[in-house]
Amino acid sequence: MNTTDINTISDKKADLAGPGIGSYEEIERILPTDYLSLIDVKDTQKAVYEVKQFISSGLCKELNLMMVEVPLIVDKESGVNDMLDRDGSRTPVSFHISNDRGKNPIEAQVVQAATKWKRVALKQFGMKPEEGLCTDMRAVRKDYFLDHDHSAYVDQWDWEKVITDKDRNLDYLKDTVRKIWKVIKEAEVYAQYLFPALKNSKYPNLPDELVFIHAEELLEKYPDLPRKQRETAILQEYPAIFIIGSAGLLMMVFLMK
């Protein structure tokens, strides 16, 4: 194996690197040292709750979704838990439930992500085309690298929707993305209305419009950078972008500077 081969493999690994990959030295180098919260801890907690509820309701309205709860614990044999990576290195928290004095034991797992579960839920709830669900999910990701925006405990919402073959096109995708961005922008306005201190020139508002770019265009623009570095580089030009296309699959990625 020559040097070129080694470099290619290294670049490929960087290209596939998921969230939470890094070092604390890198975090110290990147994070600003002069950050000061604009509101106190009490109001911060209120704001987090209000914004989460606002966005959940907004997504349901704009995308015709129904709020659902994701199970925290699933049967290992169900196959609905996600591994989060391609090599299986990020494994879920597992434990044994004796159940009925050991007669009907269950090998249980704590949910890591709800990607597979959402597909099953669409069928269980009998969702028709243009109907979907918005999830309220709690999960544990024990193998994450814990940094400024990644936690072992995950509290998030996500969504899944039934569409027809005729809707599998770029126009439909962009229309959906714009609806999501509309909700995010409205949430910003709502948060600043509730907590006026959040409107501060030190932290500019989100742009009104997203810039759409294809992953291939991004690669052509920064051919010598791995994926995560390409995404960082493009944010210096556009503060909010949406990347389309990755390895032949449609990928939704919001990147905000």
Residue 224 in any domain: the answer is no
Using CA atoms, how far residue 62 sits from 139, 169, 191, in Å, is 26, 19, 19
Pairwise CA distance, residues 210 & 184, whole Å: 11
**pLDDT number for residue 188:** 97
- Which one-letter amino acid corresponds to residue 65? L
Tokens matching residue 220: 């052509």
Domain containing 44: what range?
A: 36-164
**Residue 43: inside a domain, yes or no?**
yes
pLDDT of residue 246: 58
Q: Is 186 contained in some domain?
A: no
Dump the DSSP string for 56-104. Answer: HHHHHHHHTEEEEEPPSEEEGGG-----SSSSS-SPPPEEEE--GGGTS
Tens of pLDDT along the chain (257 residues)? Answer: 444 343 444 444 444 444 444 678 877 887 888 888 999 999 999 999 999 999 999 999 999 999 999 999 999 999 898 887 777 788 999 999 998 887 889 999 999 988 899 999 999 999 999 999 999 899 999 988 888 778 899 988 889 999 999 999 999 999 999 999 999 999 999 999 999 999 999 889 999 989 999 999 999 999 998 888 888 899 889 989 999 985 443 333 444 44
Residues 72-89 pLDDT 10s: 999 999 989 888 777 778
Task: Provide Rg for the chain, Cα atoms.
Answer: 21
∠ CA 251-229-9, rounded to 5°: 85
Pair 243, 210: CB distance under 8 Å: no
Residue 145, in any domain of the structure: yes
- pTM of this prediction exceeds 0.85: no
- DSSP element (H, E) containing 155: strand 153-161
In a domain, 178, yes or no: no
Residue 26 lies in a domain: no
Let me know if residue 246 belongs to a domain. no
Name the one residue in this structure whose structure tokens are 């669900």. Answer: 133
Q: How many domains does the chain have?
A: 1
Given the structure tokens 């052509």, which residue do they identify?
220
Q: Please report the pLDDT score of residue 200 as a whole number.
A: 93
Report the CATH number that the domain containing residue 62 is assigned in CATH: 3.30.930.10
Residue 1 forms part of a structural domain: no
